Structure 1
């Protein structure tokens, strides 16, 4: 028994010795190696503020007495608190309404721009007519200039015949005489007696209704917006109908034009029924007592019979409120004779009452004014002479011809 107890004691002593050796070796491994020179500096973290019993004593600060505090009066205390507008969530300011430039005399003011684009027609003719001998070759050159300017074959032959006869009778041909002669003949072809005003007054107690039609890319929606500016400048109130539902940006574009001059735009869902939107636009115009309703239709490709039939549907639906006062066909002056093909097809679907020629400032084909009027038997009423918002001008034959032949 004593031997067993002794063995246990020896075992415990051995285990204790071994444990001491292990701990001692671990402590030695954790100690950093002694630096041969100076001891590194250790920066302590900043002390945190004390709270509770460890808090520092408060510092003395000046304090106001109750007599020095400005208290609100009794009336102010019971008054309702004033609302303070939060600039972050405040409603945006309404866009400022622009005042369009007066429509009267616009073409005269834009004459220089028109003259620059028509130099080939006017100056070319005057140069040829000023030759000492007007032989057959010269007259053929005159015909070429007129045809290139899209005057048209029949109108060109008529103009050349009149010029030849009058030059032969005159005998002498001073520059002023030739200019006056050319001016008279061009005015005769264009015509000065036609009613070129845009009909926007209904004989009934309903707004005047203007339908704007044309092929894609002619500037139809822009023309509708600019026409709204022309009417507002003349003191008319306008409602716009965005019946071009096939082009995503058309309704947004038209609404932007309307907001600039305070005209409301009636629109529907993208891809909606154009006839329904046109009908609603006239209905809203009647309800608001507007003077004019302008309806922008989708740009129809004249080769798509179904789309042209739909345009006829728009016309029929609108006429349920009353007759259309004006149907304006927008043509791109740079398309030349192709524009006449478009004009013929549109005239078969709707009764065109007037023509708008856009981009007339960017082409030397001013003769399209003559040929398109002869083709449709309706006058050119408006011309586009630039990209500015007020560059749509009522067509004035005298100002137009003066820009061609110069002073």
Structure 2
């Protein structure tokens, strides 16, 4: 509980309240349980904070809902008081499992619907909460972050809109391009990486996993994921390589230029375990193509680590590639909704982010620096020392 003990001497900004939208209820409950346990332990060391009304509670979750009318229109409703609270709103824009009715027809919730519900809850709390922070693990429209020709800049517009509504901090994970924060340069924007949780999950699930330059290599599946692979390889002290995508820029399929081929740059992977690290698996086609090429080059095992497992085209191709030995494990976090079928797959491993997210919220509530949380270098080094011993 070292992450929480650092705040023992600091008083909170305001009474902690968490509004977990319906699509993020399970993650919200898990984070809430972690915060309840940690604060009860911390109260033994911080009597001043423990004396503050609401600091120790059985739950910090608010009763909030976004009911809809028969036309599909909705409204945000908070049933608990938020006056003077330090409010954290959790939203998962990727949870397509939720449905609502429009004139008798069933519709699945889209990212646009979730984002609109987020604004409804902010609207219901604005003017009453002392501070509002939005925890949006998968950044809404994060892939539409730059303009080519005549295109909308959806992510930048969304960030500006949230700030205009009174949001002080926006917390996300592994933003597709963190430079999108330039749209709101005077407001809080933090993008956290799950590198430590990836490594811990791999060490728990993979037998004979040796971390040295002779047995392990980090691969970036494209040029956009280079920074993730560079950090991972440097902290582990192993080589890295990358693939770059040759695209057909003369056509557009599903909103993007199709990939013609993946070209590899790097040393030999023969006989080595390989970790392919990226921010998300959407359809998974490019990731699986990279894994196949790595295996054909003689790699021992291929471990895929991505922050968000979306699997928009299902699991059939992943099952096929696992049976053929192209992939050994697929590691994703629990920050977004995942189809229950995924948990039955022998190749799936979850990187639990619950305690990490709870420590972020606790740090912000105490106005404590996030630098130690943003850079997990020390925690990774400590883990490596234990492993090597």
TM-score by length of 1: 0.30
Structure with greater helix share of residues: 1
Structure with greater strand share of residues: 2
Ranked by relative contact order (alpha carbons within 8 Å, sequence separation 6 or more), the top structure is: 1
Which has the larger Rg? Answer: 1
